[in-house]
Amino acid sequence: MLICIIEFKVLPGMEQRNREMVAQLLVAAAKIDGFVSKESFLSRDNEGKLISLSYWRDAEALRAWMRDADHRRSIPIGKNELFQSYTIQIAELVREKAWTRQENE
C-alpha cells in the first residue's frame, strides 16, 4: 500500500474554495480502482498547515490518480489560486498493527 502525504497551506480567504475542491476531488479519487481511503488534518504545531493522507492499493492505482483528468485540472488551480505552499511525499506502508477494545474488556 502507498500513502500520498500532502502538507499545504491555503492562501488567506481561499479556505472555502479549497474545501469545495477537495470534496470534488474525493469523489473523483473514490472512482479510481485501488483507492483505499483519505484523511485530512489541521496541524496542531504549525498554524494554518493542513495535512492530507490518501491511501492507494499500489503504484498503478496512484499513477491512475495522477493521470485522472479532474486531478490534472486541479493542479494549476491549487498552484495559481489556492496554495501558499505545498509538499507531496509518497510513502510505502511497510507494516500495520491494529487493536480494538472489546466491550467486555
* Structural domains of the chain, with CATH: 2-92 (3.30.70.100)
Taking the model in full, what pTM does it have? 0.88
pLDDT, tens digit, 9 for 90 and up, residues 1-46: 999 999 999 999 999 999 999 999 999 999 999 999 999 999 999 9
Q: Per the structure block, which three cell numbers stand in for 14?
A: 481561499
pLDDT, tens digit, 9 for 90 and up, residues 60-92: 999 999 999 999 999 999 999 999 999 999 999
3-state secondary structure of 32: coil
